[in-house]
Structure 1
Amino acid sequence: MTTTSTYESIAEEVLRGVGGKGNVRSLAHCATRLRFVLVDPSRADKAAVESTSGVITVVEAGGQFQVVIGNTVGHVYDAVVAQGVDGTGGGSTGGPLSRVIDLVTSIFIPFLWTLAAAGLLKALLTVAVKISPGFGATSTYAIWFAAADAVFQFLPILLAVTAAKRFKANQFTAIVIACALVYSATIAVMPGAHGASVTLQAFAQGGGKLTFLGIPVVMANYLSAVVPTILAVYVQSHVERLAERVLPAMVRNFGTPLVTLALVVPASFLAIGPVSTWIGDTLASGVDQLWGLSPWAAGTLLGGLWQVLVVFGLHWAFIPIAFQQLATTGHTDLAGALFAPVLAQAAATFAVFLRTRDRDLKAVAGPAALSGFLAGVTEPAVYGVTLRLKRPFVFACVGGAVGGGIATAGGSAATSFVLPGAITVTSTLNVGSFALQLLGCGIGMVIAFALTLVVGFKDLPAASGSPSDAASHGKASQGGTASQDGIATLVAPVAGKVVPLAEVADQVFASGAMGSGLAVIPSEGKVYAPLSGTLVSVMPHAFGIRSDSGVEVLVHIGLNTVELQGRGFTPAVAQGQRVNAGDPLTDVDLQVITDAGYDPITVLIVTDPGAHTAVVPTATGDVQPRRAALDLVG
């Protein structure tokens, strides 16, 4: 009997679909997707990977085979790496842009949500000071601002940790190198003009001559420095490998970091820092010049294409430029154009929610619109709704283009790194016209919403009539997959209270990414098969069944109950066994689940409807096991 976790099961299926771990050159992950670089892309079975439960879709772009998972991508990534796959992302192929994107994602993703949270806090503090100017002079504000701003000022230290992992360098040595860079702007070590000690940076800015062994040092600002830190750690990785080969074993433990620090820190001040700062300033200056030529045209272009870039994962290439702008000018023009396209995508998704007759699509569209609007996370909206329907995605891009152009015409820019959303738009309060930013966002949302609602889209095939109408098409009330007039019936796996799938406290289930269905708050611990078929997967807490007609379902008992490692579950079946609808699958001790702090809610999901075109929940309120719960229509 297998005890493989859900994440490990997804990892196994995905690895099989990409041609096995021998076909994986390297792997990285971003906020929502696994990014494979394959030895032979032709060996990958895209359809098989897309059909895996837990996979939203697959995108092939930039020399990568990108598997979109969602918010649980980190867990699946860990499960894939645990099977012996190179998880450093260091083997990327493709053009320079592909390599840059792969590098940026692997370095920034581990602390992206911390950056986003700090940026949101900073935006909220900006609003608070606008409402009450005196609040900005209080110690309360100062402490909260320290919490919000520290991660940006000392960003090199965070970058050192993840860059060292990427380049396979010693993380602690990398941290010391980053600290040395930050030290130059924070700790007073040089005698100043009036006797008081000043920082190296202040000494150079005050006209002092900085040298190292007689070589002039061009001092840069290393607070918030991105490119200098990454390049310094890259150089560190090579110095370490050379030192490991050259130094005797008896002195290697302390000799390698000694040699590395003695060489890399001066090299960073003498060459790496000034050169990389010049490169970053040049890129940022190029963007500034583009904005200077025509801010509205630049904003229109970026606003219209932003969600397209997100689909292919190309938006990460803009992250270093944004941070460089923040470091040099205190704001980033790029962000000024991004709020409108994100909010327009959310508006189009909400219009789908109002217009669609497909109940499962409606269940996905509601939470996805809220996620885009409040959190600035549009992947559930794009992959789960607008891109599937095509027109709403285009309408949202049109709204984003118009809104982005209006916002940037007023010189709008963000003063911190944020995920663009309705709350974080306040990060643009102090630069440019905030009124035009709001106007651009509003018009962008109206265009996307109105076009989607009025012009419309080709809806997903849905059942006509109410659930009770569907229930009257001759289906059996007990026994499961009886089919008549193109309708197949699934029975409830447990007794309890039915709740919509969208209300389940798990985003993967609630978003509909794994499929449509319903959930039951169980009143007893006996779990039954919802349809007749073969058990394709058996875990103590989850059962996958495939019918002879190709319908596949998942019965998942509890949230995160995989962590119980089978405790409280007594399965009555084994993988490969054939069951009939209503046959016992397992006995569950609900008290064990709740005492351990887990939610016992049981989810029934149709992961593959086969030849059917729609999944219609028919059970409401209290339901008895082995009674009709879902219709497969078409």
Structure 2
Amino acid sequence: MASVSYRSLAADILEKVGGEENIMGATHCATRLRLKLRDESKADTAAVENLPGVLTVMQAGGQYQVVIGNEVPTVFAELGKISRFGKDDTNEEAPAQGNLFNRFIDVVSSIFSPILWPLAGAGLFKAFLSMATTFGWVDATNQTYVILSAAADALFYFLPLFLAITAARRFKTNQFTSMAIAGTLVYPSIVALGTAGEPVAFAGIPLVMMNYTSSVIPIIVAVWLQGYLERFLLKVLPAAIRNFMTPLLSIVLMVPLTLLTVGPLTTFASQGISGGITAIFTFAPWLAGAIMGGLWQVFVLFGLHWGFVPIMANELATGGQSLLMAPLVPAVLAQAAAMLAVALRSRSAKRREVAAPAALSGFLAGVTEPGIYGVNLPLKKPFYFGIAAGAIGGAVAAIGGSASNAFVFPSLLSLPAFASVGSFALLLTGTGLAVAIAFTLTFLFGPREQADAAAIPSVNDPVPAPDAEPSVGQTAGVTARNIQVLAPVSGAAVALSDVPDRVFSSGAMGAGMGIIPEDGKIYAPVSGIIQAAMKTGHAYGIKSDDGVEVLVHIGIDTVQMKGEGFESAVIRGQRVEAGDLLATIDRGKIEAAGYDSTTIMVVTNTKELTAVLPSAEGRLAHGVPALDVEL
């Protein structure tokens, strides 16, 4: 399909189905453009099937289904450029599950996921640079340090710009418009307005400014709202002006809206919280220390910590010490200790690779963002354990009257700043307690997670076919020029020709097989990159390290369930190893809704390969070789 013009294909499909006026709705799944036509008799089906890039056409379930294959998202996007369609709810992120807080964590974690490695690297860079200045290896006043400090801190300072990109992908909106909104929040003159201390107004409306650098929630909320605004504008604006007026109006409306709402809400909340905690220090220092130690990372998460900065700075300017800063040491190091426990306890090599350097940067430099967003918050329990431990340690530190005589990031390397005020011994005791409690609770009771490769089957698992080598959990094996694609689910193998879906059974999508699942766990059949992960959770496209493109399609026509009964475990762009969990399904719900749960696995680039042949039959355990691919 490399020679196919997808823009032309979209235009030709639009014309041959009767034009835009004949389409009531449009969406797509992993392989098909799904159109709801007003009058199917107006569609020239033969002409559509003959278009370059179209595999076949199916008319079922009240839908006119144009089967395109892996490039259907591209065709759908092109359709959106020439019609009012092309933006729908079928995005490639898994729907958030659970209560409101869990959904919030899932959203934030998925938005941070693509930048975790740069965050971890930058955090470690900051830790080593902080250590170098502490021990006098680098002079903090020379130009070399300035350059290195900028390189280490840039990602954190301009974090809203990075989050704008990942949030735009999550909420399916224009990422460059999102970056323009984020860029405004951290624009030098806007930052200056927030630090000048003078009244600020927009069109006569008073603005309550905050510092948006390094912030998280403001840009995520802004991009979320931008998505709704963009979809509305794309529907109502005439085609002649839609392409440039949509981003223009989005920027013009979203920037003032964000500054007028998010800034004041965050600022008033942080000022109220910081003022209250400062007052508590006068009559119950232990309680104030417990609140600061326990909730500091929560304040940081919501951007509320900025309200404490002026108070801390004023404390240092007027009295030469800051009581508010002492409980932050146990708070930060407790979260770092939880990260260290995850690094030692988790069975997931990928999680350990994030947790170990994140713990180091947390301990040495007080930089916890990589570990919070990549480890503790997604796993929940380590985050909660860190909060509890920080509260206990913060209370002990506050009882001793510990305070800092300089504005520092709380970390092991900054401990000397706390040595001359109050009881340094109690600060060390509180910090040690926080570290010990967070580490112990996480190590003993934190989630172990699944190994990156599938576990060895139990005695209750189906027995592999006699002629298939048991290799559960292995990555796709290479024998000469042969690649083994593993069974994604345990169950009975079905010949592809017997799958009750004409598109797959005809081989139009490529060679492969079906499996009637016996449980609700679907695993990656190869190691590679997730190229498609439908929001509905029913289909996943993976490109293996060897260039084999595998589609795992769960059930027949299950896109109609709109994600009900499906829980995705991966997102597009994520790397997986063979045997990693792709999704969990509720087979009972699928069958109760009247759909066939047969899971289909096809190699969609079969025509580019020498051969794709089934290598097993009968009852299979997930992870055994199922297809033999000759490159």
TM-score range, shorter chain: 0.3 to 0.5
- Provide TM-score, normalisation by structure 1: 0.45
- Provide TM-score, normalisation by structure 2: 0.45
